Amino acid sequence: MKHNNMVPNAHFHKEWQLRVRTWFNQPMRKKRRRTARQLKAARIAPRPVDGALRPVVQCPTVKYNMKRRLGRGFTLEELKEAEMPKKLARTVGIAVDHRRKNRSVEGFQRNVQRLKEYKSRLIVFPKRAGKPKAGDSDAAELATATQFAGKLMPLVAVEDAVEARAITDEEKETRVYAKLRLERANAKHDGMRKKLAAEAAAAEEEKKG
């Protein structure tokens, strides 16, 4: 062995065959999941495969509050505005969340419109065949009804269009950073300035008195 090299210590006798992670059950698991989906669809038929209708909500925290996602359920106020009784809502495939609060008018109106659109598409089967009640769909709609297999009213990404315009001369001349620093300084010294002004006014009153 020449030179000042590392002493060789190769590990060639480990039983690596015993430590290899295999994934031979992948195809069968895929088949099992597919079968489970088919059984669930048959069990809940004629309800939609995707499950209950969910509201569109804004994500929490400053980092994600510009994003939208599907929430847990509609609020009681949204159901009331859409003229959907809260007890009936769960029976016709609408998720209800009595704890969520409406924080904006835009989100409230968006979910009310979502409920109204769902109601317009809804086909309600009677509990007993041949004995329909008020609110059930008529025989013609029931005859053509099929189980909905896709995503139930999926979330559509809508980007707010920004109107482009030319920058004005007044905007070019405005020193935004200097204005921000000035307003910060004004906010910082506002209390002290008021205190000094009050003291000066009191001193002036004493002189007059």
What integer pLDDT is reported at residue 21 of this predicted model?
Answer: 86
Phi, psi of 95 (to 5 degrees): -75, 140
In order along the chain (209 residues), what is the average pLDDT of each group of 10 residues? Answer: 83 80 95 96 93 96 93 97 95 96 96 96 88 84 89 86 90 94 96 96 89
Which residue reads 């007044």 in tokens?
Answer: 170
Does an H or E element contain 200, and which?
A: helix 176-208
Give the pair of three-digit tokens for residue 129.
């065949």
First and final C-alpha spacing in the chain: 106
Per DSSP, 126 falls in state P
What integer pLDDT is reported at residue 13 of this predicted model?
Answer: 77
What integer pLDDT is reported at residue 1 of this predicted model?
Answer: 62
User: HSE (CB half, 13 Å, CA atoms) of 100?
Assistant: 25
- Decide: 79 and 116 in contact? Cβ < 8 Å: no
What integer pLDDT is reported at residue 158 of this predicted model?
Answer: 78
Query: What pTM value is reported for the model?
Result: 0.67
Q: CA 152, CA 150: separation in Å to the nearest integer? A: 6
Give the pair of three-digit tokens for residue 12.
């060639």
Q: CA 64, CA 68: separation in Å to the nearest integer? A: 9
Q: CA 170, CA 189: separation in Å to the nearest integer? A: 29
What integer pLDDT is reported at residue 133 of this predicted model?
Answer: 85
Greatest Cα-to-Cα distance within the chain, rounded to the nearest angstrom: 106
What integer pLDDT is reported at residue 19 of this predicted model?
Answer: 81
- Decide: 73 and 100 in contact? Cβ < 8 Å: yes
Count of positions (residues) in the chain: 209
